[in-house]
Each structure stands twice: as structure tokens, then as C-alpha cells.
Amino acid sequence: MRQFRFLLSRRWVLLALAVVLLSYLAYWLGQWQFHRLADRKERNAITVRNESGTPAPVGEVLAIGRPVPATSEWKLVTATGTYDPDGTVVVRYSTRNGASGVDVVVPLVTDNGTVLVDRGWLRTDNTSAAPDDVPSPPGREVTIEGWARADATGDSTVVTDGSTRAISSSAIADYLGRDLLTGFVDLKSEDPEPDQPLVPVELPDLGNGPHFFYGLQWWFFGLLAVGGFVYLAWDEWRTQGGRPARASAAGPRRPEA
């Protein structure tokens, strides 16, 4: 054991502590990625169930001042009312397959309150097209079916000149000066159909993402740190003569006469 006393030196103790901390960090980051994978699988299961479920009246899912719970995201809802084109807001910088365009959001006035409806995507050369540049919705009473969505958050929800970068019912309500149901609806279908339909909204990606492989990578980095420390310690022991010399296979040489 005396041959390994070098491990008690200040340099090796500090190196060992660094390896322990690095390994723990790698383990924690790997666990974090696996937790994210579990959360994504749970959200995907909720989305699949809600997308294919029986539509519910919009008033049962969305309400003023009540955030849309995660269990209601992408739940099918129905509503009957009249569009208010004067409250149209466009979502700029929306791209599809590399093409620029905007999403068109229009308030729908119903007996249960006014709900924002993302009616779909319109290709435009100018990503900041004004609300007056988009096709009008049906001008009479319409029945829609779509998916309930939760509001976006952050600076991207600011509304300026009838356009925004992400949909937030609270930000649009402040801009329009009216009460809106919290959340919005991604349109699936409307009856009667408009004269100029928009490109339907995109459904969410239900893949599991890269979290599993990221988790394995972090754990591999932790093992690599431990393995590197063991190798360096072995190399130090070897260079200090810790390995016994091999005995000569021919035995000791006799002195010459």
C-alpha cells in the first residue's frame, strides 16, 4: 500500500475531488434528461388521448381567468358563434417547410364568451403582414371544432399593430380591450367553410426527442472521468516503479572466468 501513498498528495486529492464532483454532475444531468423523457412521454399520452377524444363544448374547457391545465392541452372542443374580424391578430414569423407566412387569429363571439381561434396559416412574402391582408372568415354564424391550447408566455406575446410572435389570450385581450376566454383554439374545421380556406394548423410532434441519448451521454461522461482518474493513477504508480521487475527466464548469469 506504500506504493499508493502518492494518492494522498494535495494534487491527487484535488484531482479526486474534481472527478467526484464531475461524476456527480454528470449523473444528475443524466437523471434530469431521463425525467424530461418521462414528462414528454406523459404529455404525449395526454395529447394522443385528447386529440382523438369526444369534442367538448368550449365553455367546459376554457374560462376567463383560468389557465388551461396540462391535462386539457389539445383537447377537442366545439363552439358556435360569430367571428369578429375587427379583432384579427396575425402571428408573424410562422414558417412551413421553409416558407414564410403568418397564422391568423380571430375572436369568435359565443354564448359562453369570446374565444380566440387560430384559423390556420397563410403564406406571405412579408412575414409581418397586417390583419387587413388576410382572408376574411365566414361572415355568418359558424360552428367550429378545434384543439384547446394554453397561452404562450414571455416577451414574444407582446401585440403591436395587430401582430404578435406567439398567442396569449391575456396579451391580446389587453390589446383589444375586451374579455377573452383564457387560452385559444387551434382550428380543425368550421361550418360553413370559408371562401378562402387557410392551411390547417400543425399537430404537435409526438416523438420522444433526444432525451434518452442525452442522458446516456452524460452518464458516459461521468464514467469517462472515473476511468480517466484510474488510468492516471495507474500510470503514476507504474512510472514510480510500483510494478515489480520481471525475473530473467534464464536465471542469474555466472561471472566469466
Yes or no: say if 93 and 165 are a contact pair by the CB < 8 Å rule. yes
CA distance 123 to 7: 67
From residue 113, give the alpha-carbon distance in Å to each of 174, 205, 226.
16, 30, 61
CA distance 172 to 170: 5
Q: Which pTM does this prediction carry?
A: 0.71
In one-letter notation, the amino acid at residue 144 is I
Alpha-carbon dihedral angle through residues 47, 52, 55, 56, given to the nearest 10 degrees: -40
User: How do residues 55-79 score in pLDDT, each as one tens digit?
Assistant: 899 999 999 999 998 888 889 999 9
Reduced to 3 states (helix: H, G, I; strand: E, B; else coil), residue 127 is coil
User: How do residues 145-182 score in pLDDT, each as one tens digit?
Assistant: 999 999 999 999 999 989 999 999 999 999 999 999 99
Q: Which three cell numbers, joined as nine digits, stand for 111?
A: 354564448
Q: Looking at per-residue confidence, does 41 or 243 come out higher?
A: 41
Reduced to 3 states (helix: H, G, I; strand: E, B; else coil), residue 160 is strand
For residue 252, pLDDT beyond 60: no
Residue 98: enclosing H or E segment and its boundaries?
A: none
In one-letter notation, the amino acid at residue 235 is D
Per-residue pLDDT band for 126 (boundaries 50, 70, 90) equals low
- Which residues in 145-179 are b (16+ Cβ under 10 Å) and which e? bbbbbbbbeeeebebeebbbbbbbbebbbebbeee
CA distance 222 to 16: 13
Yes or no: say if 104 and 134 are a contact pair by the CB < 8 Å rule. yes
Range scoring the smallest mean pLDDT among 131-135, 163-167, 185-189: 131-135
Enumerate the β-bridge partners of residue 63. 66
